[in-house]
Amino acid sequence: MDSFAEPRPAPDTPSDLAAVRAQVASLEDSHRAQGIPLSGRIIHLCHYLPFQAALARPPSTSKPPSPPATPPAKPADIDAPLADDDEEHELKKWRLTVRYGHSAMVSGITSLAATHDQIVIGWTGDIDAAPLASGLSATSAPTSSPPEREQVERVPFANVSAEERTALEKILTEHRMRDEPEDGKPITYVPVWLEDTVAHGHYDGYCKQTLWPLFHYLLWQDVATEYASADTHWPAYAKANRTFADRVAEVYRPGDLIWIHDYHLLLTPQLLRSALPEAAIGLFVHTPFPSSEVFRCLPRRKEILDGMLGANLICFQTYSYSRHFTSSCVRVCGYEITSAGGIDVQGHVAAIAYCPVGVDAERVAKDTFRPGIQAKLEALRALYEGKKIIVGRDKLDVVKGVVQKLRAFEKLLQDYPQWIGNVVLIQVTSPALSDSPKLERQVSEIVAHINGEYGSLDFIPVHHYHQTINKDEFYALLSVADLGVITPLRDGMNTTSMEFVIAQEPTKRSPLVLSEFMGISSNMGDALQCNPWNIGEVAAAMHRGLTMSDEEKASRHRNLYKVVTTHTSATWAAMLAKMLLAQLGRLNMARQTPPLPRETLTEHYTKAKKRLFLFDYDGTLAPIVKVPSMAVPSEPTLAALEALTADPRNVVYIISGRDGEFLEQHLGHIRGLGMSAEHGGFIREPGSTVWRNFTENLDMDWMGEVLEIFKYYTERTTGSHIEVKKSSITWHYRSSDPEWGLFQCRQCQDLLENNLARKRPIEVLVGKKNLEVRPMAVNKGEIVKRILYFNPDAEFVFCAGDDKTDEDMFRALLLFNGGGESEKAFLEPPLSVTLLAKESTTKFEPVELAISRDAVFTTAVGHSSKRTLAAWHVTTPEEIVEHMHQLFNPQPNGHDEEAKSNL
Q: Check whether residue 683 and residue 609 sit in a common domain.
A: yes
Predicted local confidence at residue 901, as pLDDT: 38
Does 616 participate in catalysis according to the annotation?
Answer: yes
Q: Check whether residue 736 and residue 792 sit in a common domain.
A: no
CA distance 866 to 877: 15
The alpha helices in 567-652, defined as continuous H runs, are 569-583, 587-590, 598-607, 635-646
Q: Check whether residue 633 and residue 516 sit in a common domain.
A: no
Q: Per-residue pLDDT for 618 more than 60?
A: yes
Q: Per-residue pLDDT for 840 more than 60?
A: no
Q: Check whether residue 283 and residue 390 sit in a common domain.
A: no
Q: Check whether residue 399 and residue 501 sit in a common domain.
A: yes
Q: Check whether residue 678 and residue 743 sit in a common domain.
A: no
Q: Is 336 within 8 Å of 866 (Cβ atoms)?
A: no
Which of these is catalytic: 128, 256, 397, 616?
Answer: 616
575 lies in some domain: no
151 lies in some domain: no
Predicted local confidence at residue 337, as pLDDT: 86
- Residue 270: pLDDT band with limits 50, 70, 90: very high
* pTM metric for this prediction: 0.79
Crossing angle (nearest 10°) for helices 103-111 and 569-583? 60
Predicted local confidence at residue 182, as pLDDT: 74
Predicted local confidence at residue 230, as pLDDT: 77
Q: Check whether residue 685 and residue 733 sit in a common domain.
A: no
Predicted local confidence at residue 896, as pLDDT: 43
398 vs 133, higher pLDDT: 398
Predicted local confidence at residue 620, as pLDDT: 92
83 lies in some domain: no
28 lies in some domain: no
642 lies in some domain: yes
CA distance 642 to 341: 43
Predicted local confidence at residue 263, as pLDDT: 95
Domain boundary among 322, 357, 392: 357
Q: Per-residue pLDDT for 899 more than 70?
A: no
CA distance 408 to 413: 9
588 lies in some domain: no
Predicted local confidence at residue 153, as pLDDT: 83
Predicted local confidence at residue 239, as pLDDT: 97
Of 46, 194, 172, 199, the closest CA to residue 120 belongs to: 46
- Residue 438: pLDDT band with limits 50, 70, 90: confident
Q: Per-residue pLDDT for 136 more than 50?
A: no
Give the domain CATH number at 715. Answer: 3.90.1070.10
Crossing angle (nearest 10°) for helices 301-308 and 268-275? 50
- Mean predicted lDDT score pLDDT of the chain: 85
Q: Check whether residue 249 and residue 271 sit in a common domain.
A: yes
- For the segment 852-866, the average pLDDT, to the nearest whole number, is 88
Each residue's pLDDT tens digit, 877-898: 999 999 999 888 765 444 444 3
Q: Check whether residue 632 and residue 713 sit in a common domain.
A: no
Predicted local confidence at residue 520, as pLDDT: 83
> Which range among 270-284, 540-554, 624-638, 700-714 shows the weakest confidence by mean pLDDT?
624-638
Provide the total of helices (H) and of strands (E) in the chain, helices listed first. Answer: 33, 34
Predicted local confidence at residue 817, as pLDDT: 66
Predicted local confidence at residue 818, as pLDDT: 56
Each residue's pLDDT tens digit, 177-186: 767 777 788 9
Predicted local confidence at residue 181, as pLDDT: 72
Q: Check whether residue 383 and residue 517 sit in a common domain.
A: yes
> Which range among 100-104, 740-744, 851-855 shows the weakest confidence by mean pLDDT?
100-104
Predicted local confidence at residue 221, as pLDDT: 65
Q: Per-residue pLDDT for 310 more than 50?
A: yes
Number of domains in the chain: 5
Predicted local confidence at residue 101, as pLDDT: 76
Q: Check whether residue 756 and residue 839 sit in a common domain.
A: no
**Burial of 704: CB neighbours in 10 Å, binned 0-12, 13-18, 19+:** exposed
Each residue's pLDDT tens digit, 501-527: 999 999 899 999 999 998 888 888 899
CA distance 764 to 782: 17
Q: Per-residue pLDDT for 85 more than 70?
A: no
Predicted local confidence at residue 132, as pLDDT: 56
Q: Check whether residue 368 and residue 463 sit in a common domain.
A: yes
- For the segment 369-379, the average pLDDT, to the nearest whole number, is 90
Domain boundary among 752, 775, 798: 775
672 lies in some domain: yes
Each residue's pLDDT tens digit, 216-235: 988 866 665 555 677 889 99
Give the domain CATH number at 333. Answer: 3.40.50.2000
637 vs 61, higher pLDDT: 637
CA distance 435 to 128: 21
- For the segment 3-32, the average pLDDT, to the nearest whole number, is 73
723 lies in some domain: yes
Predicted local confidence at residue 758, as pLDDT: 83
**Would strands 692-693 and 721-724 be described as parallel, antiparallel, or unpaired?**
unpaired
Q: Per-residue pLDDT for 207 more than 60?
A: yes
> Which range among 151-165, 247-261, 485-499 shows the weakest confidence by mean pLDDT?
151-165
Q: Per-residue pLDDT for 87 more than 60?
A: no
User: What Rg value do the Cα atoms of the chain yield, rounded?
Assistant: 33
State the maximum Cα–Cα separation within the chain, in Å, rounded to a whole number.
111
- For the segment 308-332, the average pLDDT, to the nearest whole number, is 93
Predicted local confidence at residue 187, as pLDDT: 92
Domain hosting 427: range is 361-567
Calculate ∠ Cα 366-369-372, nearest 5°: 130
Q: Per-residue pLDDT for 215 more than 60?
A: yes
- For the segment 679-701, the average pLDDT, to the nearest whole number, is 86
462 vs 433, higher pLDDT: 462
- For the segment 659-677, the average pLDDT, to the nearest whole number, is 92
Of 586, 684, 639, 628, the closest CA to residue 881 belongs to: 639
